[in-house]
């Protein structure tokens, strides 16, 4: 599981989470925390973990996007 700080619009639960190169990371599992600055838990896609794709490595302050 990955915890992400939301920066603008809060996505819907179940939304797909991708990198800036459109590689799928996972899906929005839960939204929690203060309404003004919510956090999002992301369920990691099993295929992302299995293949150890270096493009899917997440670093601190990296922007992720939802579809």
* 3-33 confidence digits (pLDDT tens): 878 777 889 999 999 988 898 889 999 999 9
pTM for this entry: 0.77
What is the number of other CB atoms lying within 10 angstroms of the CB of residue 49? 11
Q: Count how many residues are written for the chain.
A: 67
Share of residues in the chain with pLDDT > 90 (%): 33
pLDDT at position 56 over 80: no
User: Which residues lie closer than 8 Å to 2 by C-beta, 6 or more apart?
Assistant: 25, 26, 41, 42, 44, 58
Give the model's pLDDT for residue 49.
Answer: 59
Q: What's the total number of domains in the chain?
A: 1
Contacts of 18 (CB under 8 A, 6+ apart): 24, 25, 64, 65, 66, 67
Q: Which structural domain range is residue 21 located in? A: 2-66
- The CATH number that applies at residue 29 is 2.40.10.230
Mean pLDDT of the chain: 83
């Amino acid at each position: 599981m990955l915890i992400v700080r939301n920066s603008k619009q809060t996505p819907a639960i179940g939304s797909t989470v991708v990198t800036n190169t459109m590689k799928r990371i996972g899906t929005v599992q839960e939204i929690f925390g203060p309404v003004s600055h919510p956090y999002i838990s992301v369920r990691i896609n099993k295929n992302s973990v299995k293949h150890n794709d270096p493009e899917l490595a997440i670093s601190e302050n990296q922007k992720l996007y939802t579809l």
